[in-house]
Amino acid sequence: MLKASILDTYPKADASLVHELLSREVRKSPCKIIALDDDPTGVQTVHDISVYTDWSEDSIRQGFSEKEKLFFILTNSRSFTKEQTREVHGEIGENLETVADGRPYLLISRSDSTLRGHYPLETEVLRETIERYHAWNFDGEILCPFFAEGGRYTVGDIHYVKYGDDLIPAAETEFARDKTFGYHCSSLPDYVEEKSRGNYRAEEVISISLEDIRAMNFEKIENQLTEARGFRKIVVNAIDNTDVEIFAVALYRAISRGRHFLFRTAAAFVKAVADISDRPLLTRDEMITEQSGRGGVIIIGSHTEKTTRQLEDLRKIEEIRFLEMNSDLVLEGQALAEEAARIVGEIEKFIQLGETVAVYTRRTLLTVENDSKEEALLRSVKISQAVQSVVGNLKVKPAFVLAKGGITSSDIGVKALKVKKARVLGQIQPGIPVWKTDSKSKFPDIPYVIFPGNVGKDDSLYQAAAVLLGKS
């Protein structure tokens, strides 16, 4: 454990100079940037870009035709089994190569900043698929889980999660105890060895040190990158966004020398490598343009301790109606579906009266004796299906929808709201993105707030709802 105050002890880099250098490199690069998002929260640092909710050749072709440098493809693969993940990423690689037809691109596997997800499976499948189309091989894989808005920092190759005034090694947090994607190592080189089952050794991982980044030692970092071969793993230490921009400058220079990389990163890296500008947090008027007088819907599916605290803080808004879904009914045949249908009727009654409704699953995580990782994942998917049906079966258009949790927000966006292509408006709170639903979705042109389960302060859900309700 470290004190968070250590983050202020490193000498600052010249942020304006760094940004100027990065913008220059991005303008020179011919590469399109595609971010594959294993849940919908990866757009939590960007704005005014498109998100496609499928990976068909048609969607990828639309992405390539846009003037923006970057587009996202939502895979929601964190809810997949290993077999599904392998199949989907192979298909994505095939479709990307077909559409790109020789045009250069950078492919980012955007995943959880607390190191959960199908790693290294996803990038290994992408590597194998894409390399079949080329005479070259990928030289390295960049790992950069830094994400300031979520309190995720990498120092000395150790990945930390901020709790209050402390930085806790990631493997000592609740996230590392995830039933499906748990791990034991906070050191990223050791994490690589653990997750790859020794196929990539910790001592062979290249470390981009915070000291070299803060010294703006571009030449050294570039040389470290150009020395990589054989899909060698490269860890980026970072504690603020300028650190990632410094690394991105060296990265672009290495790429211009003919080097090839895949990326497994959190959202901060995507913003930096695409040179996305900062923008203020969204206001209510920027999100809700249709004044219908109806209430909104808040759906809370995440079971993290942080989410539960945020739900309790949300209760301070007396105008919100709270409805609990008994998610434990997943063990009793059709009972959970009947529970969801009951809640739909309640929501429709209230939102027509102009009242906002918050629906939440039971806060005690369901445990089953002799459970397996795959069974736990499949059960969580069934619960998520019931949760998303609460929105999917609505017949009354709400003023907005806010979904809390990764799987929850993906299922609601894709299955319930039937969004095929969304525009990212920006963020309602730091790290909390907002989509504008497209004209073909179930409820066109409403704001859809995607609230990650592991992001925000205890009052962040309250603050987001207050903005949507015009109370702040």
pLDDT digits (tens, 9 = 90+) for 267-277: 999 999 999 99
Band (288; pLDDT cuts 50, 70, 90): very high
Give, in order, the Cα–Cα distances in Å from 242 to each of 24, 214, 377, 390, 408: 15, 9, 37, 41, 32
3-state SS class at 365: coil
Structure tokens given for 287: 């999100």
DSSP 262-327: EEEE-HHHHHHHTTPPP-PPPPHHHH---------EEEE----HHHHHHHHHHTT-TTSEEEEE-G
| pLDDT tens track for 4-57 | 899 999 999 999 999 999 999 999 999 999 999 998 888 999 999 999 999 999
Sequence-separated contacts (24+) of 168-176 with Cβ below 8 Å: 168/1, 169/1, 170/114, 170/115, 172/1, 173/114, 174/304, 174/305, 175/112, 175/114, 175/115, 175/116, 175/304, 175/454, 176/114, 176/115
List of residues 6+ apart from 221 with CB closer than 8 A: 208, 212, 213, 246, 247, 250
Residue 409 has pLDDT above 90, yes or no: no
- What number is the average pLDDT over the span 147-155? 94
| pLDDT score recorded for residue 297 | 97
3-state SS class at 124: helix
| pLDDT score recorded for residue 40 | 86
| pLDDT score recorded for residue 141 | 98
List of residues 6+ apart from 82 with CB closer than 8 A: 118, 121
- Please state, in angstroms and rounded to a whole number, the distance separating the CA atoms of residues 120 and 141: 10
- What number is the average pLDDT over the span 231-254? 98
Structure tokens given for 298: 């808040």
| Contact of 301 with 383, CB cutoff 8 Å | yes
3-state SS class at 51: strand
Arithmetic mean of pLDDT over the chain? 93
- Please state, in angstroms and rounded to a whole number, the distance separating the CA atoms of residues 361 and 331: 14
Band (145; pLDDT cuts 50, 70, 90): very high
Band (106; pLDDT cuts 50, 70, 90): very high
Residue 312 has pLDDT above 80, yes or no: yes
Residue 316 has pLDDT above 90, yes or no: yes
| pLDDT tens track for 196-233 | 999 999 999 999 999 999 999 999 999 999 999 999 99
Band (472; pLDDT cuts 50, 70, 90): confident
Residue 384 has pLDDT above 90, yes or no: no
| pLDDT score recorded for residue 287 | 95
| pLDDT score recorded for residue 259 | 97
Band (462; pLDDT cuts 50, 70, 90): very high
**Lowest-confidence region among 309-313, 374-378, 409-413:** 374-378
| pLDDT score recorded for residue 303 | 74
| pLDDT score recorded for residue 1 | 84
- What number is the average pLDDT over the span 301-306? 80
List of residues 6+ apart from 291 with CB closer than 8 A: none
What's 435's DSSP letter?
E
Residue 363 has pLDDT above 80, yes or no: no
| pLDDT tens track for 162-189 | 999 999 999 999 899 988 899 999 999 9
**Pairwise pLDDT comparison (302 vs 318), residue with the higher score:** 318
The fraction of the chain above a pLDDT of 70, given in percent, is 99
Sheet with 152-155: list strands edge to edge: 2-3, 166-169, 158-163, 152-155
Band (466; pLDDT cuts 50, 70, 90): very high
Q: Which residue has the tokens 């918050």?
A: 358
| pLDDT score recorded for residue 73 | 97
- What number is the average pLDDT over the span 240-259? 97
- What number is the average pLDDT over the span 86-100? 98
From 35, 28, 90, select the one nearest 63 (Cα to Cα).
35
| pLDDT score recorded for residue 290 | 81
| pLDDT tens track for 416-433 | 999 999 999 999 999 899
- Please state, in angstroms and rounded to a whole number, the distance separating the CA atoms of residues 273 and 45: 12
Q: Provide φ and ψ at 152, rounded to 5°.
A: -115, 120
The fraction of the chain above a pLDDT of 90, given in percent, is 78
Query: Among positive and negative, which fits the CA dihedral 235, 240, 242, 245?
Result: positive
- What number is the average pLDDT over the span 86-105? 97
| pLDDT score recorded for residue 434 | 96
